């Protein structure tokens, strides 16, 4: 590879790495801003999210706050658990799930607290009373909807419609004995006032931005706040547990915790220091079990590391060596090796492994160990051994063939002709 080509490849690799890092940085900034998540999600960090509330509860209760990304039938409620569902509309299919019956049964038998805060379809977070809205602020205010209808601008009346009731008997409002009614918002106050009989520790009035109210169908419901003499926040004892419903989710948002923070209301809402479980499933955020999650759940990190090490050893065992292969021998040498017979091969083997000076001694030792020595007189065998002892190493190295012939002549003496 030429030098210019190598430099070009290095430049392309560097540019690709910089591009990937830049795209990753942009995605990280978007996730940090949190606007990739739906409104009222505890993962969203802008004014429409509830991340501040979640992280604050985590800090105050030393980690007793968690998110729920699975259906209702996979939730387990205990007596010291508060299950929070925020930012859901009254017509949402989530409120018609069959899991609500099981959840209310857990609440009745084991205790706990269920808090559901709604948002009206097509609603917006209207500006504070007496506040001036700049053009840019108005655009931001109009954008603070639940994503279903953007025609209801701030200050516009909402056309009344029939109560939100489902034909399905598993709808949460039907199970709880409630109806949800829309209300005109043009001539109503922007604050809800504490009802008589509500806990005295709660604020006398709170901001209210949702033009809807409840119609209790059961006498056990206790009104906590009224908006223009309409019940908008209620509480009911459900067996050993408690159910709280609110028609507005604004007070849980990051914006409300900065502009209208009511700590007493939030503490009563969530019943701190209970374990807070924030539902994210109704916002479309679901967690699917992956390979990494299953490995952590069943503690398979060590077996996975062992399998990885075994795979690396197998790859290393079958990999090509780093030392280059020796050059191939010439074709004539290969052909000559093929044409050699057994005797030539034996001679070549002896030449490789037996030195010239040791050749006679090796032959003598092999002869003494063979059966042919028994047919030769002992006197002749002794003379051969004496001859080898008298011959110095220099003679053995220089003329092994001559020494071999002298031994043969010595053995032939006295043989019959």
Residue 395's alpha-carbon distances to 382, 388, 401, 411, in angstroms, are 20, 10, 10, 20
User: Whole-model pTM?
Assistant: 0.59
pLDDT for res 156 = 35
**Lowest-pLDDT choice from 4-13, 113-122, 137-146, 380-389:** 137-146
Task: Quote the percentage of the chain above a pLDDT of 70.
Answer: 77
Identify the residue with better confidence: 358 or 39. 39
Q: How many whole angstroms separate alpha carbon 380 and alpha carbon 401?
A: 20
pLDDT at 141 over 50: no
Q: What is the CB neighbour count within 10 angstroms for residue 318?
A: 7
Extract the tokens encoding 319.
Answer: 């990999």
Dihedral angle computed from the Cα positions of residues 154, 157, 158 and 159, in that order, rounded to the nearest 10 degrees? -150
Q: How many whole angstroms separate alpha carbon 6 and alpha carbon 4?
A: 5
CB 156 within 8 A of CB 182: no
Extract the tokens encoding 203.
Answer: 């604020």
- 258-287 pLDDT, tens per residue? 999 999 999 999 998 899 999 999 999 888
pLDDT grade for 144, boundaries at 50, 70 and 90 = very low
- 167-202 pLDDT, tens per residue? 455 789 999 999 999 987 665 668 999 999 999 999
Q: Which range among 164-178, 200-214, 359-373 has the greatest average pLDDT?
A: 200-214
pLDDT at 217 over 50: yes
Identify the residue with better confidence: 341 or 181. 181
Q: How many whole angstroms separate alpha carbon 291 and alpha carbon 308?
A: 15
pLDDT for res 87 = 94
| H or E stretch at 247 | none
Q: How many whole angstroms separate alpha carbon 301 and alpha carbon 309?
A: 12
Got the DSSP string for 166-177?
A: -SSTT-HHHHHT
């Amino acid at each position: 590879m030429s030098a210019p080509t190598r430099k070009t490849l290095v430049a392309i690799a560097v540019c690709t790495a910089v591009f990937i890092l830049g795209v990753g940085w942009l995605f990280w900034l978007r996730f940090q801003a949190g606007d990739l998540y739906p409104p009222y999600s505890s993962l969203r960090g802008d004014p429409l999210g509830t991340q501040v509330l979640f992280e604050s509860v985590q800090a105050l209760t030393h980690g007793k706050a968690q998110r729920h990304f699975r259906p209702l039938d996979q939730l387990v409620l205990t007596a010291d658990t508060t299950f929070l569902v925020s930012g859901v509309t009254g017509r949402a299919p989530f409120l018609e799930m069959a899991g609500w019956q099981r959840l209310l049964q857990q609440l009745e038998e084991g205790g706990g607290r269920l808090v559901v805060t709604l948002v009206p379809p097509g609603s917006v977070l209207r500006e504070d009373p007496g506040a001036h809205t700049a053009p840019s602020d108005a655009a931001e205010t109009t954008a603070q909807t639940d994503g279903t209808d953007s025609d209801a601008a701030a200050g516009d009346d909402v056309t009344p419609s029939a109560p939100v009731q489902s034909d399905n008997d598993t709808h949460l409002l039907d199970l709880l004995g409630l109806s949800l009614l829309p209300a005109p918002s043009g001539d109503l106050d922007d604050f809800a006032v504490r009802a008589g009989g509500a806990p005295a520790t709660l604020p006398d009035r709170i901001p209210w931005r949702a033009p809807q109210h409840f119609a209790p169908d059961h006498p056990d419901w206790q009104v906590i706040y009224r908006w223009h003499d309409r019940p908008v926040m209620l509480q009911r004892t459900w067996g050993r547990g408690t159910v709280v419903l609110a028609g507005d989710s604004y007070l849980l948002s990051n914006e409300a915790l900065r502009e209208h923070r009511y700590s007493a209301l939030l503490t009563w809402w969530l019943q701190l220091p209970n374990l807070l479980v924030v539902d994210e499933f109704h916002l479309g955020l679901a967690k699917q079990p992956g390979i990494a999650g299953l490995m952590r759940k069943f503690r398979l990190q060590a077996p996975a590391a062992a399998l990885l090490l075994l795979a690396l050893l197998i790859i290393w065992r079958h990999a090509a060596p780093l030392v280059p292969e020796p050059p191939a021998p010439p074709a004539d040498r290969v052909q000559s090796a093929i044409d050699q017979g057994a005797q030539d091969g034996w001679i070549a083997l002896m030449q490789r492994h037996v030195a010239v000076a040791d050749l006679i001694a090796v032959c003598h030792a092999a002869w003494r160990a063979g059966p042919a020595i028994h047919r030769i007189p002992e006197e002749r065998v002794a003379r051969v051994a004496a001859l080898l002892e008298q011959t110095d190493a220099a003679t053995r190295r220089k003329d092994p063939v001559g020494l071999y012939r002298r031994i043969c002549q010595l053995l032939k003496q006295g043989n019959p002709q």
